[in-house]
Structure 1
Amino acid sequence: MKTLLLPLSGDPHKALLTLRESHPEAREIETLARDELERLWVGARLRSVRRKAPDLFVIATERLTWQQGRDLLLLFGALAGARKSIIVDAHGGICEEARAETLLRAPARLAREAVLSATAIIGARRQLQRLEREAARCCLFETAEASVELPRSIDRKGACPGETDGAMSAPRVLYLRTMPGAATQVGGAATHTVGVINALIGCGARLFVLSNDPIPGLDPTRLALEVIEPEPYGLTRALFDLRNALLFTRRAPDRLKGATFDLIYQRYSRFNWTGVEVSLRTGRPLFLEYNGSEVWIGRHWDRTGLRDLLARCERLNLAAAARIFVVSEVEKRNLVRAGLPEEKIIVNPNGVDVQTFRPGVGGDRARAELGIDPDEILVGFTGTFGPWHGVTTLAEAIASVPREARIRFLLIGTGRLRGEVERRVREAGASDRVMFVGPVPHEHVPRLLDACEILVSPHVPLADGSEFFGSPTKLFEYMAMGKAIIASRLGQIAEALTDGETALLVPPGDVRALREAILELARAPELRARLGAAARRVAIERHTWEENARRILRAYFDLMRSSAESGGEERSCVMNALGDWSEPNGAAT
């Protein structure tokens, strides 16, 4: 039975295991490259798939409940001629329909989706108007420009024991994470969330976490966690995000009744203003973790719709926040240029848990399991196969490494460009030297990195010419591992690393320079040891999650001290009856 597999997110190999258990007849499986398919218009995509005459059309996703446009995906498979369309996730979830059933149910489904989408848009505009008025009355809305489009940043921690400020103790923190979708369980965003939360707890803060997905890596005995599950409706990513943002804001009051907190900390995500609502209702300050402009992403990377609403949401969050945390000086400059006051923007780079990421955590055993010979050099990469990670540059460098060099490559992660990387490696005849292990749980990453002699971070400039804003989490994890690093001389990467002292820095996008650096380190064990030891020392001294958390808590203490000096009164905050909060959001039912 001919099967076409379209990996959208998550680990396609895990999804395939679920598929084979439920459909053992699916033996002839051809994988479609997502990036190649997305280059085509809808009609051309359909014709391209129809020509392959599939019996089964299978979509692999991270989690079924996060997948927007499920009805459209099923319909696409049916129109492409597949006898059955199947959506399968990396956690054993599966949704399938026969072609006739999909075609029969499509009109009613699409009509329902259209009504839900239109209602969500109307409800969002109404809520934004109300919040903009309320924020303006609270003197929160006077600094941000009317339209914000910022070059973005990607992917943060208070006073640790012994650092309490006078009579102040570490605050009770409401942590909001409101972004369901691929890469929220693994990757830099997930690492950042867990790193910040655990470090805040370690610094004495008490955490109440409200999330719309489970968060692996947290100890449930050390915090309170409530999950508001998303609903899989929305024909486009923008409509899915908008509707679930409204649902999250509407359902939050019930989950927060009786919760007591001093500070709201929200990881900013598109179309969500829950933190603004809570701050306005309780008088508690909103600290916004701002990892870059979703408007910029929507224009240059994801081609997001509803950008007018997205811009208003972004402007509202930035204006209502008492403090904004960014990961780089570049991002701070972007916000200042957009009209935000410099004094409320704090640069707080990413960090690393240096006890988890350290030398000698199982690398020898991992090498044996991977089949790496003792005389082979293993070069590792971990991260999202996205447009700014330089994975195509890495693929070209791999293809140009001489076969006699006895070098192999371990690539950890997945993403939009993984199919392109695999294609380039295959066409160069280098597939036998490259291991693609897909996304792995974060707790398994250290032993894989420990198996490597060299770690690479080949980031490239942003395609539109914007200044590189990123603070790659993997960079600090590499440093903590005590391994030799090759990285691009770009933005904060070149500030965190010193060429020849803690890493070898190469021009971004330069395939030849990357290859030569790999070959140089492969031949020089003493240089690898010296660079790795120096990098780990710097990671311990400057780049821990604890230091990240201290900046957050220092900002809180400074804000409270400033408020007290100016005569501000501290309001009690117990979330109980907030009936008027969700009233305007009847749309999101």
Structure 2
Amino acid sequence: MNDAAVYVVTDPGVPVFGTKGCSVHVREVLAELRARHHEVHLVTTRPGGPVPAGWDDVVLHALPRPAGDDPVTREAAQRAADVQAGLRVAALCATGRVALVYQRYGLWGAAPLEAARITGTPTVLEINAPLVDEQRRHRSLSDPDGALAYTRRALAAASAPFAVSGPVADWAAALDPAGREIPVVPNGVDPGRFLPAPVRDDRERLVVAFSGTFRPWHGTSLLVDAVAAARADGATLELLLIGDGPELAPTVGRADRAGVPLRATGRVDPSVVPELLHTADLAAAPYPAGEHYFSPLKVAEYLAAGLPTVASAIADLPGLVRDGEEVLLVPPGDVTATARALHRIGTDRALRGRLARAGRAAAQRRMSWSAVVDATLALPGAGRAA
């Protein structure tokens, strides 16, 4: 009976059982595949830890993690890992039991999808970012033409490619050898992980939460400036910074200089994020101006936690949430607008309650990982999972 699924992630920057946001994403999709198949095979170059207890139906195929002291060596190692992943997927598909091969797009990853297509197995390609552009701009890439060629190979071998946002879909469509329109299926959240935060009246200061990896494009300096401005206008706010990254120390220093009280947790396991968000009163996703192509996981998590949220209107977000009803959207990079929105929520208890209830309901109805994977497996070419 063909009731097994294969999940492939060979990106060495994605530790499947690690603590990064991408790790949470992979595990949530894996959990949904487990709910639909009697057996799930995980082919990865970076497990990031042991398979969780109770996941006995997941068969781990751990390949050597690509490494190297220079870009040329690393890229060669990634291409070698792709070959090994392809051989492993070919062997699995040859059993006749595999109903689906699902691959998270990564640089230098095409052989597993090609191996599956040879056997007629449906192939799903999840595209989270324009990785060739991202690698070239923010890291190092010795062979961009080769990376683009691998991306075209992966797209050609995917019977059901999809992207997490419109900008990413446009990027992929421009590379697709078949010239297809790439569907969009945004990221999701598991509402069951989050206990809605209460609307509190007994605090001297309301807590504004930010959760994620502290990178320049997450706008945490903007958030500090906006909280400082809202405080100067009479809102009693403090910051809760959940996570770590290169921008954490500069953000803390900026808050100290601005007189904004805060608590910074540093790196935490994803399992404790819901508990930390439960201690907050509102949340923010303050992206700066510029090009944004991702589908923010943090916004979905804030809404699932019942936190009234201020978010920059980036990428597809304005079409995913209802401004003024489920969140307050502000122009990207606009400190004044962000401060006003934080002040408005922080000084209006009734508004906090309405946003909290509507946001939580939106996460449950439209943003659950179950709904996301249902939409993915309903794409033409994906083949319905059992």
For the criterion TM > 0.5, the same-fold answer is yes
Distance 2:14 2:103 in 1: 19
Preserved contact between residue 2 and residue 98 of structure 2 (Cα < 8 Å)? no
CA shift in 2, pair 1:537/1:251, >3 Å: closer
- Structure 1: which 5+ residue stretches go unaligned? 1-168, 368-372, 562-589
Structure 1 residue 442 and structure 2 residue 286: aligned? Answer: no
* Partner residue, 1:279: 116
Distance 1:332 1:375 in 2: 45
Q: CA deviation at 1:323?
A: 1.4
User: Of the candidates 360, 363, 367, which is equivalent to residue 543 of structure 1?
Assistant: 367
CA shift in 2, pair 1:308/1:343, >3 Å: closer
* Partner residue, 1:484: 308
Distance 1:401 1:189 in 2: 32
User: Of the candidates 222, 242, 258, which is equivalent to residue 412 of structure 1?
Assistant: 242
Preserved contact between residue 203 and residue 549 of structure 1 (Cα < 8 Å)? no
Structure 1 residue 501 and structure 2 residue 319: aligned? Answer: no
CA shift in 2, pair 1:532/1:183, >3 Å: farther
Preserved contact between residue 460 and residue 508 of structure 1 (Cα < 8 Å)? yes
Preserved contact between residue 203 and residue 546 of structure 1 (Cα < 8 Å)? no
User: Of the candidates 195, 213, 237, which is equivalent to residue 28 of structure 2?
Assistant: 195
Correspondence 1:449-528 to 2 at 5 A:
449-462=277-290, 466=291, 468-528=292-352
* Partner residue, 2:81: 247
Cα-to-partner distance string for 1:283-334 (whole Å, 9 max, x where unaligned): 4333111112212112333243322221222122122211112112333233
- Structure 2: which 5+ residue stretches go unaligned? none
* Partner residue, 1:353: 190
Structure 1 residue 226 and structure 2 residue 61: aligned? Answer: yes
Preserved contact between residue 90 and residue 115 of structure 2 (Cα < 8 Å)? no
Using structure 1 for the length normalisation, give the TM-score. 0.58
DSSP 3-state at the match of 1:173: strand
DSSP 3-state at the match of 2:204: coil
Preserved contact between residue 178 and residue 245 of structure 1 (Cα < 8 Å)? no
Q: CA deviation at 1:183?
A: 6.9
Structure 2 counterpart of 1:349, one-letter code: P
Question: What count of residue pairs does the alignment treat as equivalent?
Answer: 376
Preserved contact between residue 297 and residue 303 of structure 1 (Cα < 8 Å)? no
Using structure 2 for the length normalisation, give the TM-score. 0.86
Structure 1 counterpart of 2:306, one-letter code: G
User: Of the candidates 156, 166, 172, which is equivalent to residue 335 of structure 1?
Assistant: 172
Preserved contact between residue 381 and residue 456 of structure 1 (Cα < 8 Å)? yes
Structure 1 counterpart of 2:184, one-letter code: V
Q: CA deviation at 1:513?
A: 1.5
Structure 1 counterpart of 2:256, one-letter code: R
Structure 2 counterpart of 1:267, one-letter code: R
Superposed CA RMSD: 3.0
Structure 2 counterpart of 1:191, one-letter code: V
Distance 1:245 1:438 in 2: 34
Structure 1 counterpart of 2:208, one-letter code: V
Distance 1:393 1:241 in 2: 36
Distance 2:334 2:272 in 1: 31
Correspondence 1:306-321 to 2 at 5 A:
306-321=143-158
Preserved contact between residue 283 and residue 309 of structure 2 (Cα < 8 Å)? yes
Structure 2 counterpart of 1:472, one-letter code: P
Correspondence 1:249-268 to 2 at 5 A:
249-250=83-84, 253=87, 257=91, 260-268=97-105
Structure 1 residue 180 and structure 2 residue 12: aligned? Answer: yes
* Partner residue, 1:206: 39
User: What percent identity do the matched residue pairs reach?
Assistant: 28
Preserved contact between residue 380 and residue 455 of structure 1 (Cα < 8 Å)? yes
